[in-house]
Amino acid sequence: MVHAVVLAGVVAVMPLVFGGWRRWAVAGAAVVTSFLLPVGAASAAAASVWLMVALWVVVPWTATRCSRISMDRPITMNRAISAELAPIVAALFAAAFAVVAASAFVQSRAGMSLFGIGEPIVELTAVHFSYAGVGAVTLAGVVAVDRVGRLGLLATVAAPPLVAIGFVVSHPLPQVGGAVLMSAGVLTTAALQLREVAVGAAARRVLLTLSGLAPWVPMALAVAWATSMYWDVPALSVPDMARTHGVMNVVFVVAGLLARRAVLEGSNPGSAPTGPTRVIEVQP
């Protein structure tokens, strides 16, 4: 199940956010090859294709995306600066998290245990930075048009590194706090997406409904699991979390990205805008 979720992140989440479907298909084939090989140097070499594709795609994407945002919404020193910076923050963190996800996967297939952290946590790091990182941050950036949305974006970009720090230092404050922060960010995005369900084409409304409803129970399960690492709190096992928390968050991310596909395609290098552009009025 975890392997399947990893692959879906490469061949679905990454191209929906960054474009370049053919390049991500190559990365996906390399991921499958890596899974077919025993953990070690050969498997890590195949996995490194994902990392190379990530760098190849996200570096120019980030430059182009931030340039377009700056031209569309010049950043000025006024009270609307947060609204202007939100999409740039989302783009920069999504790109960084894509590289982290690929790097964690290479580490996993090499059998490396940095900071004493082994499997399944290393492979799950690749999963979380693909979905809670790239996917959730991108969706949070789209809905960050008001103060609530921007707070949700800040929570979403801060949570993945905080959780990672929690694993490294084995301390409940960053690990449990990061899980709570991630839940707050994701559920803010989910709620704001549900607010849009009443308008738009039927297919988009269905996708936004799926995305908006999917994460509520899974995020509660994530907080319970993180808490159970330090206190006697009931929580699911890692395999059960993959089948529940993991699968439903795939639905949250993929359905949400598909609903936003027209806007996202317009922000990818080499793509012409195919949907409406969000307009924010800047007050002097």
Tens of pLDDT along the chain (284 residues) come to 889 999 999 999 999 999 989 999 999 999 999 999 999 999 999 999 999 999 999 988 888 877 776 665 555 444 444 667 888 889 999 999 999 999 999 999 999 988 888 888 899 999 999 999 999 999 999 999 888 999 999 999 999 999 999 999 989 999 999 999 999 999 999 999 999 988 888 899 999 999 999 999 999 999 999 999 999 989 999 889 989 999 999 999 999 999 998 767 765 654 433 333 343 333 33
Name the nearest CA neighbour of 196 among 185, 186, 209, 183. 209
123 neighbors 2 (Cβ within 8 angstroms): yes
* pTM, 2 dp: 0.87
The pLDDT, as a whole number, for residue 67 is 76
Query: Residue 112 and residue 104: Cα distance in Å, rounded?
Result: 10
- Check residue 268 and give its pLDDT: 62
Q: Burial-class residue 166 by CB neighbours within 10 Å (0-12, 13-18, 19+).
A: buried
Q: In this predicted structure, what is the pLDDT of residue 278?
A: 40
CB 194 within 8 A of CB 215: no
- What pLDDT, on the 0 to 100 scale, is given for residue 70? 63
What confidence score (pLDDT) does residue 266 get? 62
Phi-psi region of 209 (alpha: psi -120 to 50; beta: other; left: phi over 0): alpha
Question: DSSP letter at 38?
Answer: P
b/e for 224-233, b at 16 or more Cβ within 10 A?
A: bbbbeeeeee
Q: What's the half-sphere exposure (Cβ side, CA atoms, 13 Å) at 201?
A: 9
Helix-strand-coil split of the chain, %, nearest 5: 75, 0, 25
- CA 159 from chain centre, in angstroms, equals 11
